Amino acid sequence: MKKILNCSCTKKLTDLAPFLLRVVTGAIFLAHGWQKFTGGIPGVETMLAGMGFPAAGLFAVLLVFAEVVGGILLILGAFTHWTAKILAVVAAVALVVVHLPNGFIGAGGYEFILLILVSCISLMITGPGRWSVDAKAKRK
């Protein structure tokens, strides 16, 4: 039973966990931000205005910037704590404003954005891991 509970992979691959979480979470934000960017900022502004956001034009630019640049920074593991914090705010707003009313699962449900939010919080707490720009800068 002890062998089953103590998988050797946990000792050998501990650096892989934050790397995978960072890269996948960053890629999701980058893809969503890029989709908004190529679809046009005016469309994002219209969407935000329809949800009642004040200064929808400004928030549209900030949202696209946060998702694209934040996604890239997470993938690289650069400024990870602050990037994850900003993206957690983006995810929390999306959770409350867009997805929460749709229930946990189903069309527009909040299960996916909740996972993204928790991924950002996890990266804020644990850090980017050894395979990151942050770790390389810290070693110098």
Q: For 1-55, what is each residue's pLDDT tens digit?
A: 666 677 776 677 888 999 999 999 999 999 999 999 999 999 999 999 999 999 9
Q: Residues 132, 76: contact at Cβ < 8 Å?
A: yes
Give the model's confidence band at 138: pLDDT under 50 very low, under 70 low, under 90 confident, else very high: confident
**What pLDDT shows up at residue 72?**
98
Give the 3-state secondary structure percentages of the chain, helix then strand then coil, rounded to 5: 80, 0, 20
Whole-model pTM?
0.91
133 CB neighbour count, 10 Å cutoff: 15
Q: pLDDT tens across 44-62, in order? A: 999 999 999 999 999 999 9
**What pLDDT shows up at residue 4?**
66
